[in-house]
Amino acid sequence: MTDQLDHAEETGSRDIGRRRFLGYLIAAPTLAVGVSWIAGDNPANAAVPTLPQPEDIFDLGDLQNLAAAATSALISVQVNKDGTASFALHRCEVGQGITTAVAMLIAEELDLPLDKVSITLADALPELLMNQLTGGSNSIRSIGLPVRSAAALARSRLVATAAAKWDVPAEEITTADGVLRHGSGRSADYGSLAEAAAVSTTVTVEAPTLKDPKDYRIVGTPQNRIDALDAVTGRKQYVLDLPVPDAKPTMVRRPPTINGKPNAVRNEDAVRAMPGVLDIAVVTYGVAVRCETFGQCIDALRALDVEWAAGTVDGESDESVLGKIKRAQLPLAVPPLGALTVEAEFTFMFSSNAALEPDNAIADVRSDRAEIWATLKVPIVAQGDIAAMLGLPLDKVAVHVVTGGGSFGRHLFHDVALEAAEISKKMGKPVKLSWSRTDALRQGRAHPMSVSRIRASHLLGNVLTFEQRHTSSETSFSHGLGEMITNFAAELPIAGNLSFAESIFLLSQSVPYNFGVVTQLLNEVPLKFNTGSMRNIYSPNTVCAIELVVDQLAAKMKKDPVAFRREFLRDDRLRAVLEKAVEVGQWGKSMAPMTAQGIGLHGEYRGAVAVLVEIDCRPETVNRPVEHGVTGPRVTKAVIVVDAGLPINPRGLEAQMIGGLNDAIATALTSSMHIVDGLPLEGSWDNYFYTRQWNTPPEVEVVVMPPTTGQPSGAGELGVAPAFAAVACAYARATGTMPTTFPINHGTLSFEPFPTQPYTHESPTDGLDSAF
């Protein structure tokens, strides 16, 4: 072994900011490196800003970063003999582009072409503890630095290996496009040194120097998704596409109310005799049928005659839930001051985070082991729950994380994977379980109804107080994030014994204006709906409420909405994106009657966004006929300006902004759940009116601001809240009436609901009639 290699194996560490990294050369046939990321000293007691809110100091992502810090030891990059690099990502790809962004970081630090980096999704790794959670728009924020460090270490090891082989100083070796070069003319591609650079015993090494951002050639440049070709050719595989042997199509007949349970099946033998039916099993929340095809599952589950027991919210309706929420509202502190007060209350109806890919999972449960395939953002918790349910040791339950067809919060939970395991155990066979579309909407998790009340007071051109009381039906965070809070509560710069929901609220919310005394409080009503977070959690609703009231305050002070925001903003990054949006979107231009511009601002995840939209509320637009669809006002144009701190992939960032905009248009104008007698009425996509082509803006421009902070912000959820606010504010300006219930069309039921039993609809037979 040469001097250079001996030197490289000395134990060392490197401080980056306040975090310390340890590098490892991992014993493997070809070069494998890892870094461990050790939390440094606690942050020093910073000067307390004027009137701080918790989110300003320490946000949800910081908390996740901290939770991830201690357990990043397995961040590892492998260099293969074909010159490619591999990385098993301990996060879940559901469309947000995390695999592409991570591939870019690795390609950057390793000096490899992007197409030579291959990313797979890691199985559930219990040793990662809570560092295997995909959520809170936190992936790049929490793992970006360790991933870059690992890639940089791999590069430095390759350089050291070449230096030893060529007997030249390492500093004289350059790397580019996967090739090492020396001035003497010698060169080698990475693959040719992948074995020589490997070690047979894992050792700690000097932590690497990261590339200077000014030398970036990939990070910060627009790149296409690494899975795009697979997506457009139909080769991209989702859970239902996996050819797991004997995992036959399986579906479940479900109860007439949320979380109802089966008492008895009256015609099991008759259904078992139907074509294609293989197995039937009574499970916790229904009756499962396993068949040769999913079509036969639909026929069989519809034919089942089941006696049902009550569910958990029987008899609850929109009205009853709203009543309970209003009774649970926390009091406002400042009394109404007549003409000096602006007060408003906004109701946000239940909405569904269901992805287009219905909830599904494959389970192969045997007597002594189990194997699960599912899209899971918290796979460790899923693995633990499944193992407990099956009565198997954790290491006998393999959980494979599969790329998902959307998530929007849905895959934080593992309900469907747990159910698949239960069915497989009861049937004694592998199952490929899919919820029906109606199951996903009626029994799947929903973002709960909430009411946001705001009271603001102003005097002599100043806003003196701004109070927000946000009250919600319970949002479930049972996916295990709670452990992080427990573990790190002592680290939080906020006092008190907060519940988890309150913590999430405090760590994600702030009012970006100089409004004197600002308070934002959350209360939740413990109703047993199946709930969970939807993209951007509380913020779309709270920010919509804030920005509508900001426009009201501006109107009372006879100020233009943008002029008012300029005057009261207390955040320079928001100010900058506002000015850019005003310029690009031509704020204040002449608009026809019943059309208007609206502006919404929001900072979160250490990013800042301004959205400027134009809405058309003219009758000829609102009343456009679309069969089995809803139309209503149309957002005709949107400008989204985003400051993401350090944009990794501007093209992916732009995609997330566009997606957030379309989500916001849906929740502002068209999409909600109507709860009647303990069940949502919505049963399919022409009931749940997510944004469609006829309601999406023909014109959208996304402006990605140049790097500001040097650190990437969150991206996946960042655009939803400001877009929601902008649409609501534009609607209020166009119609002259501030909307107070969202979506604005909730009062009109625009479809004929499916029956309550059975509700998974029979497939039509007339599909050829609509061919075009």
* Structural element, H or E, at residue 42: none
Footprint (CB under 8 A) of another protein, residues 298-317:
298-299
Q: How far is the CB of 640 from another protein (least distance, A)?
A: 11
Q: How far is the CB of 663 from another protein (least distance, A)?
A: 6
Footprint (CB under 8 A) of another protein, residues 217-236:
224-225, 227-236
Among 651, 676, 711, 738, interactor with another protein by CB under 8 A:
651
Give the amino acid at 220.
G
Nearest to 623 by CA among 614, 615, 613, 633: 633
Among 493, 496, 628, 752, interactor with another protein by CB under 8 A:
628
Q: How far is the CB of 188 from another protein (least distance, A)?
A: 33
In degrees and rounded to multiples of 5, residue 372 shows phi and psi of -125, 140
771 vs 765: CA distance, rounded Å? 13
Task: Give the three-class secondary structure for 668.
Answer: helix
CA angle 349, 354, 358 (to 5 degrees): 150
Options 73-81, 253-261, 293-301, 336-344: segment touching another protein (CB under 8 A): 293-301
Q: How far is the CB of 382 from another protein (least distance, A)?
A: 20
530 vs 444: CA distance, rounded Å? 6
**CA 756 to centroid of chain Cα atoms:** 31
Among 177, 292, 319, 583, interactor with another protein by CB under 8 A:
292
- Please state, in angstroms and as integers, the Cα–Cα distance from residue 357 to each residue in 418, 679, 696, 735, following that order: 18, 21, 21, 37
Q: Does 445 contact another protein by CB under 8 A? A: no
Q: How far is the CB of 445 from another protein (least distance, A)?
A: 15
Among 187, 621, 696, 711, interactor with another protein by CB under 8 A:
696
Looking at the Cβ atoms of 411 and 565, the one nearer to another protein is 411
Looking at the Cβ atoms of 234 and 391, the one nearer to another protein is 234
Q: Does 572 contact another protein by CB under 8 A? A: no
Footprint (CB under 8 A) of another protein, residues 353-372:
354-358
Q: How far is the CB of 563 from another protein (least distance, A)?
A: 30
Options 391-399, 460-468, 489-497, 688-696: segment touching another protein (CB under 8 A): 688-696
Say if strands 32-38 and 19-25 run parallel, antiparallel, or are unpaired: antiparallel
Among 54, 633, 678, 697, interactor with another protein by CB under 8 A:
697
- Please state, in angstroms and as integers, the Cα–Cα distance from residue 538 to each residue in 135, 505, 534, 681, following that order: 14, 7, 8, 24
# chain residues binding another protein, by CB under 8 A: 78
Q: Does 434 contact another protein by CB under 8 A? A: yes
Say if strands 75-79 and 634-643 run parallel, antiparallel, or are unpaired: unpaired
Among 700, 707, 740, 750, interactor with another protein by CB under 8 A:
700
Options 9-17, 106-114, 314-322, 431-439: segment touching another protein (CB under 8 A): 431-439
DSSP state of 449: P
399 vs 365: CA distance, rounded Å? 12
412 vs 134: CA distance, rounded Å? 8
Token pair 């991830």 is at which residue?
A: 68
Among 324, 528, 559, 692, interactor with another protein by CB under 8 A:
692
Q: Does 570 contact another protein by CB under 8 A? A: no
Q: Does 7 contact another protein by CB under 8 A? A: no
Whole-angstrom Cα Rg for the chain: 27
- Please state, in angstroms and as integers, the Cα–Cα distance from residue 222 to each residue in 112, 652, 706, following that order: 17, 7, 13
Footprint (CB under 8 A) of another protein, residues 406-425:
406-408
Q: Does 536 contact another protein by CB under 8 A? A: no
Strands, DSSP E only, in 366-511?
370-374, 397-401, 431-434, 446-447, 450-459, 462-473
Q: Does 295 contact another protein by CB under 8 A? A: yes
Q: How far is the CB of 123 from another protein (least distance, A)?
A: 21
Footprint (CB under 8 A) of another protein, residues 107-166:
none
Q: Does 249 contact another protein by CB under 8 A? A: yes
385 vs 379: CA distance, rounded Å? 10
Decide if 595 contacts 574 (C-beta within 8 A).
no
Task: Give the three-class secondary structure for 66.
Answer: helix
**DSSP of 261-284, one letter per residue?**
EEEEES-HHHHHTSTTEEEEEEET
Q: Does 765 contact another protein by CB under 8 A? A: yes
Q: Does 659 contact another protein by CB under 8 A? A: yes
Looking at the Cβ atoms of 270 and 563, the one nearer to another protein is 270
Footprint (CB under 8 A) of another protein, residues 258-287:
275-276
Among 36, 597, 691, 713, interactor with another protein by CB under 8 A:
691
Q: Which two tokens stand for residue 137?
A: 């728009």
Q: Which two tokens stand for residue 284?
A: 């916790």
DSSP state of 666: I
Q: How far is the CB of 241 from another protein (least distance, A)?
A: 4
Looking at the Cβ atoms of 131 and 434, the one nearer to another protein is 434
Looking at the Cβ atoms of 500 and 685, the one nearer to another protein is 685
